[in-house]
Amino acid sequence: MTQDVTLLIVDDEPAHAESLARIFEKEGWTSRVAHSGAVALEELRKAPASVVITDLNMPGMNGAELLRAIKAISPETEVVLMTAFGTVETAVAAMKDGAYDFVTKPLKRHAIVKAIRQALEKHTLVAENRSLRARLAGLSAGPSIVGRSPSLRATLDTVRQAALSSATVLLVGETGTGKELFARALHDGSPRVNAPFVAVNCAAIPETILESELFGYERGAFTGAAQRKEGRFERAHGGTLFLDEVAEMSPAVQVKLLRVLQDGEIERLGGTSPVRVDVRIVAATNKDLATRVTEGAFREDLFYRLNVITVQLPPLRDRREDIPLLADHFLKLYTQKNGKTLSGFTRAAVTAMEGHTWPGNVRELEHAVERAVVLSRGAELNLEDLPLAVRAGAAAPSSSVAVDGRSLVVALGTTLEEIELRVIHETLRRTNGDKDLAAQILGISVRTIYRKLAGEDSPLPFAGEG
Ligand SMILES: Nc1ncnc2c1ncn2[C@@H]1O[C@H](COP(=O)(O)OP(=O)(O)OP(=O)(O)O)[C@@H](O)[C@H]1O
Ligand SMILES: [Mg+2]
């Protein structure tokens, strides 16, 4: 066998372990040795093994206990047991706990090699099968991500590659650019697809509760902790934990998260022993985390741990060719949901959408189309069905408000509403869509920006924002 295999030999008698290691070496297999169950688990924490071969009778943690521990922390590792004649029954019982096979002592070279070879084959098959399933799932999830601009395609490529590993991924992008959508795509395209995807919004959960939400607690850990509670890390075991709005995490929780990323272990509140978790972390933020680090608001060591692979989601205004595609996608989605029949958009409507700056990105577009579908009475969606802010985008070039260098030129007779909208759009354009900065420049709140852009007659497009 030529692929990358590693074996872990567990035996409390060093001479036995050494002779096994020599046998395996002749077969071309790399092996490591541990002289107790506890050390074996330590070794597996450092690096996984394809197959563990362990003695059943050992002082301390015996082989059957070790088997159960291995199956809990690393289910894909195959385990072969070595047993004396008297304990064959124990070995048979261990098969029910997931052991692959057992060999009886005194060991015969060909028997042990055969058992290990078969265990390795099974390990390889399971791994191949899993990656195949993951790829199929990834393909079928593909169409829900719409766009063919080069920047979006490049982002998708990064995500596809990253999905195959367990490396931590940081998704960065303005609000509404699709961070959550891509986080789910990462999970769906990964070998973890059949395990849970657990999302935590670090900004939405109060600071005092976030810690117990993430790490869980033991009964009696604090007043009101009547039952032990599993945290989201434990719930995501084997799968993916999505930490949304990670920039909002308090320093105390940042320290704890750093520890999990370093050790792969969590500690429940009020708990005394660490719990091993196998979780892939995907984090997202619309803030500039590097700046937060220089400001001292975000730990530098944690930033580097999260930032192993960074996926930058491009704002919609930088990939305008995706606008008509996304608009069609949402039109189909919402006509279906609302039981309407609409054939498409008028030319004027498309031009307006292409001209708008979309500070709320894809989410803003989605809401605009949804609203238009609900309100429309014609066979096609036209300009009048779109929110005022989008219509203003269409009117801009020929409007009575023009930009001249750093000034706005306003023709008398222009409505105040139109002037306001133009000023807001122009400011957003110059701040590259940074609505916090635009709000500061304009001396209004972010919420007011959204309200003005959405028009008085339509609902807030980004509920909960601002
Ligand atoms: N490329 C895309 N194709 C199809 N739908 C998309 C695309 N990008 C985003 N969406 C949709 O737009 C909406 C907003 O996306 P999402 O919630 O992932 O944004 P976000 O980056 O997490 O925003 P926020 O920072 O405000 O939480 C969702 O309904 C999502 O399905
Ligand atoms: Mg989000």
As annotated, the residues of the chain forming the CATH 3.40.50.300 domain(s) are 145-314
As annotated, the residues of the chain forming the CATH 1.10.8.60 domain(s) are 317-454
Whole-number pLDDT of residue 430: 75
Of 2.60.120.10, 3.40.50.2300, 3.30.1360.120, 3.30.70.260, the CATH number of 6-131 is: 3.40.50.2300
Is the model's pTM score more than 0.85? no
Tens of pLDDT, residue by residue over 257-294, are 998 988 888 989 888 888 889 999 999 999 999 999 99
Counting ligand 1 atoms within 8 A of each CB, the residue from 245, 362, 370, 465 with the most, and so the one to mutate, is: 362
378 exposure class (CB count in 10 Å sphere: 0-12, 13-18, 19+): exposed
CA distances from 397 to 287, 356, 361, 383 (A): 32, 11, 21, 16
* CATH class of domain segment(s) 145-314: alpha beta
180 C-beta closer than 6 A to ligand 1 = yes
Average pLDDT, the chain: 86
User: Whose atoms come closest to the Cα of 360: which ligand?
Assistant: 1
- Domain covering 317-454 in this structure, CATH number: 1.10.8.60
Regions in the chain scoring below 70 on pLDDT? 1-5, 131, 133-143, 393-407, 409, 411-414, 455-466
Ligand 1 atom closest to 313 (CA) = 21
Protein residue with its CA nearest to atom 25 in ligand 1? 175
88 C-beta closer than 6 A to ligand 1 = no
Protein residue with its CA nearest to atom 10 in ligand 1? 178
